[in-house]
Structure 1
């Protein structure tokens, strides 16, 4: 039960009040607040702080208080997380001190029936001002280098890409637990032992000694051993669940789960304690020859997805319905992995439950990034040991957690600063995590750091990499192959342009993207660099479309944005198609970043409200579990790969069509297709036509004949997926009229939009304010029709919009 829903906050200068008794003389205005929550979230809700305000919440002491009326007597207060240097008083008596935002505290108390809880979150700046040894290297990711001495997130402190909103306060629940019948689960580990799904259980029981305790998993029940353990009672045992279904990522099977519960008998009373759902799976990481290939239940899995961002970066807590929508969006797109990076936070419990349910794997970093960790300090070491144990125990029942990692860019940062490899090791990931995981989360692969491996940790052809060859380093698209990427846990970061609605919400009256300070302030950049990620995107606009982006931006801002959206689609689809192809060295690619923390042309595949950007559409098309993808193999022609990651066999057909520049069908070929589950087939498109056509236009013995190559995969249920390849590239003339048409038919609360064109439509986009389409930024072949569902955004009443293509001067008006 939550302590209260009636919290308020106030600020005092650092050190001005030692305790609640001294608070009245120095506290300012008290502002209502939510718990879980942060100071920034409370001030945002009160209209006293905005996303562009650069308030330093680490400068002051922040006081939180709430009264509670209820039953008197013994209880336990549970604090799920206090950010960061915190003291807690109950009715004026000091209960605890905490110096880690990731620590969980349980404190026995005696309630009076009318109780006041006060939390002081002390100034982090003042705490870090004390003289301490400096790290052996620095990072530009955060300004405060002494953050290495406290367990606090980088989120809200990385001004180069997110709001300045350092989290301060009880960011996880503050709860009242019964004192007499407390259950503390210490081990709920679902694993597969010698081929048998097994659950190991251990818990402490506070209260009367039980006469019986029964653990139930699915339909299997097992009595537990009851043993004295100091002032408490220990409940322990193991349940074998033969025949239990295995959990798979949804791209490769069913994410099967079983419910677990504990029934405890004390005297004449039986109490049932739900333990949540759990799943059984094995995970192996093949690391031979510098690779990293994950297999789940013996099935190799190409991992694809994105790096997770909290859905509310300011509060660091969100309603479970919003979390569900975010994870469901990922699963529906064919992503099968999310990474929680070391710059972030351990997520709220509902996130892991949703990933389990929806079949989305989690690559989970410990929350360490970039800085030199002072593990030789005994107090810091003890704090880290407790943090790792708490995290790993909480992950034991979650089959979605398939990799645990020691943190983000620690070894890369050290290496780039010239620190020798032995001195720049990520000590948490190499000295602490392997032993802790072996005991508390056995069977889950452990990675020392992301990135790591190779001659230098940032090299891409061995181990885990952060691949920004296509992206920040502005390498040609072919670099995705020549770099020999093995597994990239970050890649393909661009300043992704959001919808026109979101663009308008960023800009002031008369402002233009690219020039407005409000726009530029939110474009991500590497701190200290003389460029930002809009410059990166513009590089690919110039390369792919043969234009000067600055000239287009000045003359036609709307087209400038569309070219940016399209360039990102081309870069992402080409790169992910390369990574996924048969024979590729790559076994996993996670795009950076899933979600923007605020309305922006940020790294996010979706904007801060979850509305997909063009980058999301490109990633989704490359990630579908059942699809066909085309690629240009140069002198070896054009190849198509059919993927069937699903466990069921695929029966259908594969059709190829060739179109000339006028949109006329030049030729077509079709072959029957039968593919086992979890298999792929690579096909030479040139060979399918039976004679040399130079489809890739690599030999260039004459003028280019084929303008568009299309591959359509149809299964036996009639479901079709089409991919297109442009041998001549994306630099195409803009035509007066493509014969673009759109028809709308209402379907319940949504609309079916059918789009067709007489000529090839290059990057078709559906732009309807207040609505979102199920697909967008796709190619439309001459004479083809596509029907796409258009759905209203929550609370919106969409009326009209347009459908346009990048190579058409005329848009098609849509009225709903």
Structure 2
């Protein structure tokens, strides 16, 4: 039977005469940080002080012994970052140039000093660029010339921290006769029967050649066996009436253990195990009267995807543990998310990420790793890219949560709109990957899943790549240049990216910028704002609705976070109200990789921003929304549940002082997975110029609001409310904050981190009418007073 020795201990990191203890898995930056050689690059402006780290060569060293009775010993790397030259006992073992691949080297009988010498990623990229020639890039860094996490080189939300190191596990595998090299389980469901076609490849030793071997596969009581005279076999298993895997909100997520054993006459030689799920996945891209669709269909059910974009959860990915993956993805699921897009400027995530998605019912849209750049298609990159694609398709395809392969992020759009064509002058730029190589690899290795060439992509060059009427669409003009109300100007078929910025929570800012007198333009705040004209766009977004506060950081912080939540809600409410024409929204973005002002719903310290709580509201199965349009004001009841939604909706036209001008009750029936729309009676619609009237819709504990004018033009009363605290019985660290409104209180928000670094609460912004009260559960707060809580409460105030 194969033996495995994990190589996690005994490593040193060397540069010149300096030798440090090294953690494996890890990276140079984390080792230097542990040793006190560098300051934390996430704090203050330390990032600029460690630029030298990514521009040097580094060597990892340890002694490698040999104690095995097996015929063969392989040195196996799950991830090397990135250009490395490996020696053992002074003799070459191999070389690598791809962070996104696994590597295996035969070191049978060899012992001695193991050295892994990493070149600077900048030097490797320069060498490749010298061969391929220049290509356009959105950022002034060489990310497209090296197969490495592109956002290591900085992004409009990320630091420039160019890493090197053994970033995923390394081990010795000792084996005899034969081993399992690759397993591809093709899982389908046909007329109620689950089918698993297990495609097996093995590797033999010299002594193992010519031997007859046996492979056995088992799943859910089904068994199949094959005799291998060569190095490949196909085993077929059938499972009658399997329980189907569903996205969260549509059903359960049953997982089945698929086990494979390779044996000879002496017994087992090697085993393989994964969990699989039975489900069908289709992508409906058929044309209709609205253009070209893009609808995910799981087990025959058409789905409006409630998605988020995922970036690496740490600028140093080796620090992301299975527990951290689980925490972040659970946060996503609890916000109503059912799809996570793994963005193409990051990494193919660890198995723990996809395991968690399998269990939580989170569909995974997986980008191949190309983003915002023109990529050369010549060697040495082309061979690396094909090997990388093959490696990761095989590695990830057992996961039922994986529903879509996507060729790239924004490169097809970039070629058309970002002035690439002229400087390229006919040179390759990646099109051959997205429309040729990658779809061929997916069709060969994983024909059970759909592939799309890019995001955005209209399906062909017959339409603009980012045409909202065809395929996937990225909506960035609104954030860059317009008011968030402009999200309502179109109904894309699938919104794969859109978002609005806001700073992180105050506790995160205080930790990341120690001792700084916080202001929107203070040095640390500007350093942790990576977007072009980011603060300008933030301020213009606020100024369209509120007067920008002068010299009041707390108020600015509240308003920027409020506008972020409102903006994303405006888009999602509008697009969900137009299902099934629009079939999904994928918010940019769920998470951050360090403390930064960004589009994220969860900041770099893992704290939810108000946007996170807003996602819980707008991604709930049932959503009530008031939608202005050319035909007047419309009430939309969005029902993504499996049951009909029959409810009376109370409409009230109200004055700012809380009195009711008019009211009615509409009976609304929304079918399962459908939207019911009803015109608001004309007599209840406030005048478009009214500064004193607004509309409220209430049903089943849900509320929708319509204010006809910007907040700064509305005659809000001075907000008055009472705050009381009620301990939660049996839970000493929890308290209910009860807020009772005496006036209209618009967008009341508790910022729990102002009560303590570890304090959290269960809801975001709320609007209370006079006489209403709300209960906010707070945990982790210890002993606080009503005055403490009042100081952490914010709401809209009159000008």
TM-score w.r.t. the length of structure 2 is: 0.88
Match of 1:23 in 2: none
**CA distance 1:68–1:272, shift in 2 (3 Å):** closer
Paired with 1:183 and 1:10, the residues of 2 have a C-alpha distance of 33
Match of 1:5 in 2: 8
**CA distance 1:562–1:223, shift in 2 (3 Å):** same
Cα distance, 1:381 vs. partner?
A: 2.2
**CA distance 1:646–1:117, shift in 2 (3 Å):** farther
Cα distance, 1:584 vs. partner?
A: 7.0
Match status 1:361 vs 2:363:
yes
Q: 2:27 aligns with which of 23, 38, 56?
A: 38
Matched position secondary structure for 1:393 = helix
Structure 2 counterparts to residues 8-87 of structure 1, below 5 A: 8-12=11-15, 27-49=16-38, 50-51=40-41, 52-54=46-48, 55-67=51-63, 71-73=67-69, 74-87=72-85
| CA offset digits 1:335-369 (Å, max 9, x no partner) | 11111121111101111111111111111111112
* Farther off after superposition, 774-783 or 271-280: 271-280
Cα distance, 1:804 vs. partner?
A: 2.0
Cα distance, 1:630 vs. partner?
A: 2.7
Match status 1:745 vs 2:748:
no
Cα distance, 1:177 vs. partner?
A: 2.1
Q: 1:618 aligns with which of 614, 628, 635?
A: 614
Match status 1:429 vs 2:421:
no
**CA distance 1:605–1:310, shift in 2 (3 Å):** same
8 A contact 1:282–1:298 mirrored in 2: yes
Match of 1:380 in 2: 381
Match status 1:725 vs 2:723:
no
Cα distance, 1:521 vs. partner?
A: 0.7
Q: 1:660 aligns with which of 652, 655, 658?
A: 655
Q: 1:203 aligns with which of 200, 204, 212?
A: 200
Cα distance, 1:299 vs. partner?
A: 1.5
Paired with 1:271 and 1:239, the residues of 2 have a C-alpha distance of 22
Cα distance, 1:45 vs. partner?
A: 2.9
8 A contact 1:4–1:66 mirrored in 2: no
**CA distance 1:489–1:45, shift in 2 (3 Å):** farther
8 A contact 2:472–2:494 mirrored in 1: yes
Cα distance, 1:744 vs. partner?
A: 2.8
Q: 1:464 aligns with which of 461, 472, 478?
A: 472
Match of 2:411 in 1: 410
8 A contact 1:411–1:424 mirrored in 2: no
**CA distance 1:801–1:119, shift in 2 (3 Å):** farther
Match status 1:323 vs 2:325:
yes
Q: 2:282 aligns with which of 281, 284, 302?
A: 284
**CA distance 1:789–1:276, shift in 2 (3 Å):** farther
Q: 2:626 aligns with which of 624, 630, 633?
A: 630
Paired with 1:117 and 1:262, the residues of 2 have a C-alpha distance of 33
Q: CA RMSD in A?
A: 2.9
| CA offset digits 1:604-645 (Å, max 9, x no partner) | 2111122111222223321112332332336522313232x2
Match of 1:16 in 2: none
**CA distance 1:797–1:223, shift in 2 (3 Å):** farther
**CA distance 1:175–1:579, shift in 2 (3 Å):** same
Match of 2:679 in 1: 684
8 A contact 1:108–1:179 mirrored in 2: no
- The higher relative CO (CA closer than 8 Å, separation ≥ 6) is in 2
Cα distance, 1:519 vs. partner?
A: 0.8
Match of 1:15 in 2: none
Q: Structure 1: which 5+ runs fail to align? A: 13-26, 687-691, 714-719, 810-816
Q: Structure 2: which 5+ runs fail to align? A: none
Match status 1:502 vs 2:508:
yes
Matched position secondary structure for 1:752 = strand
Match of 1:119 in 2: 116
8 A contact 1:339–1:363 mirrored in 2: yes
| CA offset digits 1:267-318 (Å, max 9, x no partner) | 4646894622111222222222233222222222112222112222223441
Match status 1:771 vs 2:759:
yes
Match of 1:523 in 2: 529
Match of 1:514 in 2: 520
Cα distance, 1:505 vs. partner?
A: 2.2
TM-score w.r.t. the length of structure 1 is: 0.86
8 A contact 1:573–1:622 mirrored in 2: yes
Cα distance, 1:771 vs. partner?
A: 0.7
Cα distance, 1:759 vs. partner?
A: 2.2
Match status 1:759 vs 2:743:
yes
**CA distance 1:657–1:734, shift in 2 (3 Å):** closer
Cα distance, 1:559 vs. partner?
A: 0.9
**CA distance 1:190–1:755, shift in 2 (3 Å):** farther
8 A contact 1:63–1:121 mirrored in 2: yes
8 A contact 2:308–2:587 mirrored in 1: yes
**CA distance 1:198–1:788, shift in 2 (3 Å):** farther
Match of 2:641 in 1: 646
| CA offset digits 1:201-252 (Å, max 9, x no partner) | 122445776875432222x3222212122xxx54530112231122221033
